[in-house]
Chain A
């Protein structure tokens, strides 16, 4: 059966199933499904999520009515065609990034950095892992260029790579100003989740160059709001720079350089000229981008957790991961 035959669930759609009632929610609404047996509702949602027919031999009247209500409430959507344009998908990704960024940056790490409640050791950790991540652009962008099967897109990735490859130097300078030797930081290596973010981007590049472009677009969308970025770095400098090292200045320079390059529009540059994408491919692209966003969430949480538990020893040659805090 073709994937286009059944309505698709609106995204995001969360299910809360405690007791006999199923509650559906998205960013705007919360719907209690009182009139449908929970088991039937779950079965229909499971099937639609699998791109299967929602029908079964049981509870036929509930099933069709439930699907009708889902569509009426815009919690399920008819798939209109077997393909979409690059412009359509880029617009969807841009809209989705807004939601995702809201989720990503409302977590403990970013709020505590912005409002000054983070421990100094977490600020150190954030800086160290940011350095590893930016250095990791070489593992992401040049790999994506190498994997891209489309010559036009490969050229965009290659240019992006060349414009980013040495930006770790800004973060290395920030590290030095904060008392860390980048050589030792290199030697200890990143947190496993920092590495995981880089490897997830590489996974995306293997799956499809457009999946990589969708992940890269999410990253660039966070940096392209320069005013917000400036306000953030200003706040971090105010809260966490008692020694007046101005360690945020190099990162601010990096932000401004990225703005000058116009990296915020790379995703659109990749997608816009594409006349048609199969819906299966479009689905896969957004699925991989979603997995990438989930990995970023884990990464941010892990920085908070790992560095909260222990002050960074600037001379240590290795780190313990998930150690006993009583040690």
Chain B
């Protein structure tokens, strides 16, 4: 299936077609504009390139040529089953799709503002609080995902190892939040906002689905195919520290966590040994992995939207009312 970048804007005149996202602009003229437009319109109703060709009235070769153009700039991905492939070929395709979905997350309004240095103080610290809950959820979903012994130890050991190394990383972010002046008790006793709970529930459910699904989760979270360098990490957080000086402690925590990930080589995915040991995948397994990539992106989109929605007033950092049952007594007194 050819999946178009959801952020794509499409401007069509009779002879010109312009496809554009935040980073790329492609212009098609004449016959190629007509072909591209027809192919884009047929894609959502088509499971494969043959159907796109039939619906659009263009040859499969033309459909494939247009698809390659779009894929090169992450304006589309091809999620169709690659058939008998090597683990490296599967992985390369998964990486491409994961980067595509990661870009979709980062193109959303709040994520764009946050990393451009345009978020409010409440939003930045609120993001820190909810990120803490997300990292803490590793004690549930990664514990669940790694709680498997059915299969070869060489395949499973990196998965066990991954959880063991991540299990207590939430403490790093907690320290960062405390350095920004938030109180530990307030963070530990509050409930996450519902959009964070939606994300952590999704991670939990997907972790229980199967080993392929569990390990696919991390592809969207860690889309880089090569580890970032310490200099790149420092430069990223220097920018954010400069933009958000009230959150220096929090970004120090992010930086030290990212550097730990570099040392632990977390840009290599635990999916890799799973693919190595599985060999040939079935079409159903592939579809399920593609579904996990997209669903993971959607869950993170909701996570970011929640920061913007629930962290408007500065009091939200200190007070998210925790409902309690004390009223039960008052009601029975009235009765």
Least CB distance from B335 to A in Å reads: 7
* Contact of B323 with A11 in the complex, beta carbons under 8 Å: yes
Which single residue of chain B is at the shortest CB-CB distance from A52? B185
Q: A199-B202, A200-B197 are in contact. Are A77 and B9 (CB under 8 A)?
A: no
Least CB distance from B107 to A in Å reads: 8
**A57 at interface by CB-CB < 8 Å:** no
Q: Which residues of B contact A287 (CB under 8 A)?
A: 191, 322-324
* Contact of A199 with B46 in the complex, beta carbons under 8 Å: no
**B321 at interface by CB-CB < 8 Å:** yes
Stretch of A126-134, A151-159, A318-326 on the interface side: A318-326
Say which residue of A7, A202, A283 sits within 8 Å of B323 (CB atoms): A283
* Contact of A318 with B330 in the complex, beta carbons under 8 Å: no
* Contact of B47 with A291 in the complex, beta carbons under 8 Å: no
* Contact of A193 with B315 in the complex, beta carbons under 8 Å: no
Q: Which residues of B contact A179 (CB under 8 A)?
A: none
Q: Which 5 A-B pairs have the closest CB atoms?
A: A282-B325, A8-B326, A323-B6, A320-B6, A294-B194
* Contact of B9 with A91 in the complex, beta carbons under 8 Å: no
**B118 at interface by CB-CB < 8 Å:** no
**A317 at interface by CB-CB < 8 Å:** yes
* Contact of A192 with B295 in the complex, beta carbons under 8 Å: yes
**B68 at interface by CB-CB < 8 Å:** no
Which single residue of chain B is at the shortest CB-CB distance from A15? B315
Q: Which residues of B contact A327 (CB under 8 A)?
A: 4, 6, 8-10
Least CB distance from B22 to A in Å reads: 10
Residue of B104, B302, B315, B328 with most partner-chain A CB within 10 A? B328
Q: Using a Cβ–Cβ cut-off of 8 Å, how many residues does chain B contribute to the interface with A?
A: 54
* Interface bin, chain A: 35 or more
Seen from chain A, the residues whose Cβ lies within 8 Å of a Cβ on chain B are: 7-18, 22, 42, 45-47, 49-52, 74, 77-81, 84, 87-89, 91-92, 95, 192-193, 195-196, 199-200, 202-203, 279, 282-283, 285-287, 289-291, 294-295, 298, 313, 315-318, 320-324, 326-327
Say which residue of A84, A313, A320 sits within 8 Å of B325 (CB atoms): A84
Distance between Cα atoms of A313 and B314 in the complex (Å): 42
* Contact of B201 with A199 in the complex, beta carbons under 8 Å: yes
Q: Which residues of A contact B1 (CB under 8 A)?
A: 317-318
* Contact of B331 with A88 in the complex, beta carbons under 8 Å: yes
Q: Which residues of A contact B104 (CB under 8 A)?
A: 322
* Contact of A200 with B3 in the complex, beta carbons under 8 Å: no
Say which residue of B8, B10, B201, B330 sits within 8 Å of A203 (CB atoms): B201
Q: Which residues of A contact B329 (CB under 8 A)?
A: 77, 79-81, 84, 88
* Contact of B45 with A317 in the complex, beta carbons under 8 Å: yes
